[in-house]
Structure 1
Amino acid sequence: MNSQKKNFLVLTVLFLLAMTSSVFAQDAPKPKASPAQTATGKVGAANISIAYSSPSVKGRKVWGELVPYGKAWRAGANEATTFTTDKDIMVQGKALKAGKYSLFMVPGEKEWQIIFNSQTGQWGTNRQGANFDPANNVLTVNVTPKKAAKMNEALAYNITPKGFSLLWENLEVPVAIK
């Protein structure tokens, strides 16, 4: 084999290797903008879990703009947030049977509605807004938001022996459970 053929063969192999590595590099998974999270804890004898996707503030004004006041919201990003309890509980003094529910919220400047809906597994929004049928609402309670102790860049849920809170931006939305 002459040197021209050897050089051509070496260059061809190097080119193919370079192309293969660039193709595989494009398939590397990118981190999600709103990663899936799960908060778990106990309230009395009940095991509670909240599964949600956690968006970040990223310099945006969240309440009243990104998440409008007066409109049902999926309480996270991507799929509808789910709330699961293995025991019957009292939420803000109202009964909620053990089970798995989609959790939606209607933010307001002074008061929020927290909605437990029996339909689960749906994407969180559709063209009309929050993706749920109000006929499947099992429980709706009102709560009062308050200023958070610190800025929370990423949306989070915290479950304590007294209930749960949504924490995002400079706001905390506590929900009492017994």
Structure 2
Amino acid sequence: MKNATFLIAFLLLFLMGHAQTPPMPKVPPTGNSGMKMNKPKQVASPADSSMVMTSDGVNIKIRYGSPSLKGRTIGTDIVKPGERWRAGANETTTISFDKDVTINGQALAAGKYGLNVIPGEQNSTLIFNKSWQQWGTKFNEADDVLKVEVPNENLSSSQERLKISADASGKIHMAWGNYGLSMEAKAAK
């Protein structure tokens, strides 16, 4: 009798434990592994940034969407000469300085700005616009604070994805495809 009571108690405990275990989800088999794998979503123009404190004490922060060439040609398919460009993708590219600066010798007050470019054949115009909280293709020229003309640079190797960087010397460099632009930010005196 003892063995029968023990066996019944064991079976009841087993059945109660099994009833509390959640069922395994059914996953439709795909491929050879039998498991469905979700790939991470690829962002066409992922957000990127550059931050630096320059040797003369200016904090520079740059945020932008980094598009890829994807077989397109700069100057023909995208970023056409004479057309204002958002200097990136998606939202407005922003650049901020925590102190008053000069950009290639021209005064610019501390603050956050939208950065645009008008590419040219030999030189391009960098534009600092006080309206930075907007979609990147919206431009109000009345809000332009500073325009700086810089020479175009030919890079030795093509860069698939747009890269904007700043270094401790205050040099801010933009590179995409075989093209580059540079400007220099210095603490105002």
TM-score, normalized by the shorter chain, greater than 0.5? yes
Distance 2:178 2:125 in 1: 19
In structure 2, what is the equivalent of residue 176 of structure 1? 184
Q: Show structure 2 runs of 5+ residues with no match.
A: 1-22, 29-35
Structure number with greater Rg is 2
Distance 2:53 2:149 in 1: 22
Asked whether 1:32 is paired with 2:51, we answer: no
Q: 1:29-178 maps to which residues of 2 (within 5 A)? A: 30-43=41-54, 44-125=56-137, 131-160=138-167, 161-178=169-186
- Structure 1 counterpart SS, 2:142: helix
In structure 1, what is the equivalent of residue 12 of structure 2? none
- Structure 1 counterpart SS, 2:50: strand
TM-score where L is the length of structure 2 = 0.75
- Which one is further off, 157-166 or 71-80? 157-166
- Structure 2 counterpart SS, 1:135: helix
Q: Show structure 1 runs of 5+ residues with no match.
A: 1-12, 20-24, 126-130
Name the aligned partner's letter for residue 62 of structure 1: I
TM-score where L is the length of structure 1 = 0.80
The Cα RMSD (Å) is: 2.2
In structure 1, what is the equivalent of residue 26 of structure 2? 17
Task: Detail structure 1 runs of 4+ shifted over 2 Å in the superposition.
Answer: 16-19, 25-29
Q: Report if the CA contact (8 A) 1:42-1:159 is conserved.
A: no
1:49 CA drift (Å)? 1.1
1:150 CA drift (Å)? 2.2
- Structure 2 counterpart SS, 1:157: strand
